[in-house]
Amino acid sequence: MCWVTWSQHGNDVPPHSGSPPSIDAYDQLLPSRRVTRPDGRRDEPVTVHRHRGPTEQAAGAAVDQACRMLRLPTIRVQCPDMADAAARDRMSYRGFLAELLMAECDDRARRRSERRIKAAAFSREKSLRAYYL
């Protein structure tokens, strides 16, 4: 992968040592722009900053779509509530992921059991009294 070197932009910073520069380093490379008002006066220079991630709404839509594609119905349904609970409990990312995956595994095991019982086509349920009459 080819990264832009600092010297190409006139900075006195040496080129990177193999790893990509941080986002803040890229922000320093962005040009400062002067904003001209409609009356012709110029404002102070404004640095253009990049957005660092999707909005909450976009992230929710992306998770929903990915769960549909990967066929993870339990995660799709429970993710918003579990994310809010994880934020309240200050759970780590790994802890949150573990909770989501365990919920998916538990739900799949429950549905698998229900499918197998239905596929076995057992006769109607009988009590012990029905056998002794």
Per-residue pLDDT of the chain (133 residues; tens, 9 = 90+): 444 444 444 444 445 455 666 666 655 555 555 556 666 666 555 555 555 778 888 889 999 999 999 999 999 999 999 999 999 999 999 999 999 999 999 999 999 999 998 999 887 777 777 776 5
The SS3 assignment for 93 reads: helix
Which residue carries 């990509």 as its tokens?
Answer: 20
What is the pLDDT at residue 129? 75
- The reported pTM is 0.53
Q: Quote the tokens at residue 122.
A: 């057992």
Q: How far apart are CA 64 and CA 74, in angstroms?
A: 11
pLDDT given for residue 72 in this prediction: 95
Return the closest-CA partner of residue 22 out of 52, 61, 47.
52
Contact 46, 37 (CB under 8 A): no
